[in-house]
Structure 1
């Protein structure tokens, strides 16, 4: 009696069954090949295999059967956002999916795309320019005033101000400022003169270099310019001489005034040609 009981217990134990697609409904759309999509439009991670539905452009899981690859298809989904009343089912639901790309190929394509994108992006850091510190009023006025001007301004103020006594070193507010400005300019007068002289010398050197550059450029092109001017004057002179003596005997003749003007122009052109030929 004990053997049948053990056999019944063994038969009632649930056995592991192969997974299969629960719904046999198939979309009327043709099967979708994974290889036809971009690498960023599908995910072949076994934990969350999914793709972007071409019909509604939303991420949809793929229900994969372990027995047949051809039975892999998209799960039913709606084309409207979640919470919409009376949502319409997307026509891409239950669409067959052909998984013709391996996980290794998909990972390699993703890595190649990331490398290409990183190559197009610049890694240079553009830093904000630092704001220069504004100079003090004394620094702004110092280059404009020399020691003589500030000393005379201080002396003129001291003579007209009853509160300023230079001998006792007593000054009003304005006199104190003028005294400080006079002392400051007197102390920095040698450096200011040296800076002005250096700036003038630099400007003169720059103008001299520009003049030399212009002279050098003209020297390199003077021959070609002279030949072009000579050729142009020669062509005009030949044309004038041809108009002076027409080829046809019965052609129009020049008047005495026209001939005199033409002869004057020919003489001037001949002189110019002679000068250019030297």
Structure 2
């Protein structure tokens, strides 16, 4: 692979977030032309196609049918990168850049929203299943990963991940966790409402006859002044009891 006849770019002059010099991982760099991640081979950016939508140069028609889609070679291919940084110095520069960006953020205090009131038990069964919008977001996240892997030379091998691919996988995992959480909440609500219904009906069926019998006995008055169980008669005149 020959270089693109441009002057080499020193790694110390590049932005630290445009490099990946972690130990044990494939060195990566951002192409200065198309701004996409590519691996470094012999201190040169691997050849790749331009990621922009610029049409390829049209020449003599040598095919029959529709014109095949083929993007032109990116001018940043085979750009020489002089690695004049150690992984330790690159990590320090990356941390310094992150702290600088954090210092530029606004110091305004953002009020956190109040904690949501939990849903009453009587309304748990009405919890909706995952919405169509949430499922569509999950499908889009998965499609973005597949599309990125088909175009990225680093992620295509399956042995390493570029920063963009890693970020896409993290977002997809968060979306899957949200869908799974909604599914579990919905199923738990249905189980909570259906579980106590059957035992309650069975208990009421067992004591229903005794309850009716007790209600009938309470509604009938005994005849006479003596109770049915053979106790003493109820006095009809005042009785004075002296100690």
Interval containing the TM-score (normalised by the shorter chain): 0.3 to 0.5
Q: What TM-score, normalized to structure 1? A: 0.32
Q: What TM-score, normalized to structure 2? A: 0.36
